[in-house]
């Protein structure tokens, strides 16, 4: 079973992974009850690119999701699939497509996980940013209000208690310029 919810937004990905998945309870290539369909170095790379994010084992493939919606998939030996509203910008290089997910209009883009033409630190930085963007975009597809970020945390958490006259502010009213404590 997969921890990635069976939601309409995940249907195409789950269909693909379910078709490719092979149950395997034990052995060198077992991954949460499934045969691993991703090179172990790529699993580690995904964890390095999103260190605070849980990796969901989905039919033998590691997936990152926000609010239950898949955002990033590490597949094979050299493919990161990212869900975005538009293709990632230069200088990131595309990887081999993964039909039907990467077909035009499907919202998934294949990227190389190491971007060897870039310095290592720049590759790490740019890929981490793309993954954050993919997680934010996936969260926006959940249909929930925008009161939480891609981690499910409050989007505008209070920075501490503010002192004032106790009068509430209506929508659209400007905040006073008084000193904060």
Mean pLDDT (the chain) is 82
Contacts of 47 (CB under 8 A, 6+ apart): 55
Average pLDDT over residues 15-23: 91
Strand 56-58 vs strand 34-35: parallel, antiparallel, or unpaired? Answer: unpaired
Average pLDDT over residues 36-57: 93
Q: Taking the model in full, what pTM does it have?
A: 0.78
Checking if the pLDDT of 150 tops 70, the result is: no
Average pLDDT over residues 127-140: 96
Contacts of 178 (CB under 8 A, 6+ apart): 164
Judge contact between 82 and 134, C-beta under 8 A. Answer: yes
Checking if the pLDDT of 31 tops 60, the result is: yes
**What tokens does 93 get?**
């290089």
**What per-residue confidence (pLDDT) applies to 151?**
56
Helix, strand, coil percent content, the chain, rounded in steps of 5: 25, 20, 55
Rounded CA-CA distance 170/135 in Å is 32
């Amino acid at each position: 079973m997969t921890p990635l919810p069976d939601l309409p937004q995940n249907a195409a990905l789950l269909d693909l992974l379910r078709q490719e998945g092979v149950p395997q309870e034990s052995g060198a290539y077992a991954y949460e009850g499934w045969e691993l369909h991703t090179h172990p170095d790529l699993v580690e790379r995904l964890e390095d690119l999103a260190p605070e994010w849980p990796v969901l084992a989905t039919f033998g493939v590691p997936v990152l999701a926000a609010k239950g919606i898949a955002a990033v998939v590490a597949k094979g030996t050299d493919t990161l699939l990212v869900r975005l509203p538009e293709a990632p910008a230069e200088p990131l290089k595309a990887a081999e497509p993964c039909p039907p997910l990467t077909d035009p209009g499907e919202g998934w883009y294949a990227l190389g996980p190491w971007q060897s033409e870039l310095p290592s630190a720049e590759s790490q930085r740019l890929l981490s940013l793309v993954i954050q963007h993919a997680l934010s975009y996936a969260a926006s597809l959940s249909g929930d209000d925008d009161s939480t970020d891609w981690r499910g945390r409050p989007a505008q958490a209070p920075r501490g208690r503010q002192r004032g006259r106790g009068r509430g502010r209506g929508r659209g009213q400007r905040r006073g310029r008084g000193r904060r404590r």
